Chain A
């Protein structure tokens, strides 16, 4: 257990649907990062939140959104799902400059 918890582990849904992925960072970590990993794209940074506020944005589609709640857990919302959104979604957290980043075990999303 890395300390970063992601749920659910697997998700199968149909095109056009909406899903929510959840991430609980390591205790005490204020930053949460979301990444997408598909077979042909590698690990792509989506978005970062720090203590409830959006800090950085990557290649995140407009159909995707995220937020971080007061208890520091984060949710990634994916809507109008397409087949190409099938991927592993990871979140990570960090304690700051002196440490590394800790990743969760991911959510495998399959859009059929």
Chain B
């Protein structure tokens, strides 16, 4: 399973944008980049995923570097409810299709 590297923790202020980075230098051409977040004592929640192009949905945006070796999850206006652990995961269909969770980035949102 290809590895990802994320900062252990980040802090943000409420209503400001948050950029959560993820490095995945060993990504292969068929690896999708998935982002999930987990609040305490809750199941992980799907945020967004992409392959090559930038993606937007109601929760966030995913910016993928041209060489695909890194990506950034963008929360446009952080709220207190966005405080969670964010996981960046590479997932390849047709192979081992399980999500392999690392330690993620713990995001703290200050009021």
Contacts and interface: CB of A to CB of B under 8 A. Distances in A.
Nearest to A44: B101
Contact of B41 (A31, A88, A97, A101): A88
Given A42-B101, A42-B103, A104 B96 contact: no
Interface of B: 32, 34, 36, 38, 41-49, 93, 96-103
A106 B48 CA distance: 21
A2 B100 contact: no
Contact of A31 (B34, B97, B103): B97
Given A45-B98, A48-B97, A48-B98, A100 B42 contact: no
Interface of A: 2, 4, 31, 33, 35, 42-45, 48, 55-56, 58, 88, 90, 92, 94, 96-97, 100-106, 108
Given A90-B44, A105-B42, A106-B41, 5 more contacts: A43-B38, A58-B98, A100-B46, A100-B49, A103-B46
A110 B44 CA distance: 20
A70 B100 CA distance: 27
- Nearest 3 pairs of A and B residues by beta carbon: A100-B46, A103-B43, A43-B101
B97 A103 contact: no
Contacts of A31: 97
A11 B49 CA distance: 34
A56 B93 contact: no
A90 to B, nearest CB: 5
Contacts of B42: 105-106
6 contacts: A43-B38, A43-B44, A92-B43, A92-B44, A101-B36, A106-B41
Nearest to A34: B98
A112 B12 CA distance: 40
B3 to A, nearest CB: 14
